[in-house]
Amino acid sequence: MSDLISLETERLLLRPTSEEDAPFLFYLMNSPKWLKYIGNREITSFEKARNYILLRIRPQQQLPGFGSFTVIRKSDQKKMGTCGLYRREGLPAPDIGFALLPRFEHKGYAFEAAQKLLETGFEAYHLEQVFAITMPGNSASQKLLKKLGLKPNGMFLLPGDETASCLFQLAHSAWASTRHPKLQLNSPEL
């Protein structure tokens, strides 16, 4: 996000992805699930990972409400994955994305990181909505998106892709109503 702040949760530090993360990003982007569900980005060396950070990640971090974060476990400073709000051609609002190394999956880390990003996007950057895209076969990602409150919204073909992705969407108003269920516009307390 444009001011490159780090975010924290109970167990995690979300630090803006930087050049020092190139070796980690190399391993993450070549993990089996990344290759299967996100795609091969031809990151075949640490240097290519560094260039990816400089050419693809850094420019997005300069846009208000967008950015990629390296997800770090506080207890031992292990880098576990990435999470971010990304600009995608064809989408009118940020796309939330997340990926963890396999050994850190199924422990609630992706949910915790993504939940913090949604909170920051909606509260600090006043986003009106957030989208997510995922491959039709990626049931774990779809389940997590639903748990975060995103709703399926049909299929979406990203420019340049040959296969349509599942599109999910979460409006600020829907997110706010789950955070503060007693505060309704018609509420006599207002």
Query: 70, 8 in Cβ contact below 8 A?
Result: no
Over the stretch 25-67, which tens digit does the pLDDT of each residue have? 999 999 999 999 998 899 999 999 999 999 999 999 988 878 9
Give me the phi and psi of 41, to 5 degrees please.
-100, 10
Token pair listed for 183: 């505060």
Residue 189 has pLDDT above 80, yes or no: no
pLDDT value at residue 160: 82
DSSP state of 158: -
User: Which H or E run contains 41?
Assistant: none
Residue 3 has pLDDT above 70, yes or no: no
**What CATH code is assigned to 7-179?**
3.40.630.30
Query: In this predicted structure, what is the pLDDT of residue 64?
Result: 83
Query: What's the pLDDT tens digit per position in 73-99?
Result: 999 999 999 999 999 988 999 999 999
Q: Residue 181: pLDDT above 90?
A: no
Residue 188 has pLDDT above 80, yes or no: no
pTM strictly above 0.85 = yes
* Of 113, 118, 79, the residue nearest 95 (C-alpha): 118
Amino acid at 184: Q
Cα–Cα distance for residue pair 86/93, rounded to 1 Å: 9
Q: What is the pLDDT of residue 142?
A: 97
For Cα atoms 39, 42, 43, give the angle at the middle one, nearest 5 degrees.
105
The full set of domain ranges for the chain reads 7-179
Q: What angle do CA 4, 8, 11 make, to 5 degrees?
A: 145
Average pLDDT across the chain, whole number:
91
Percentage with pLDDT > 70 across the chain? 92
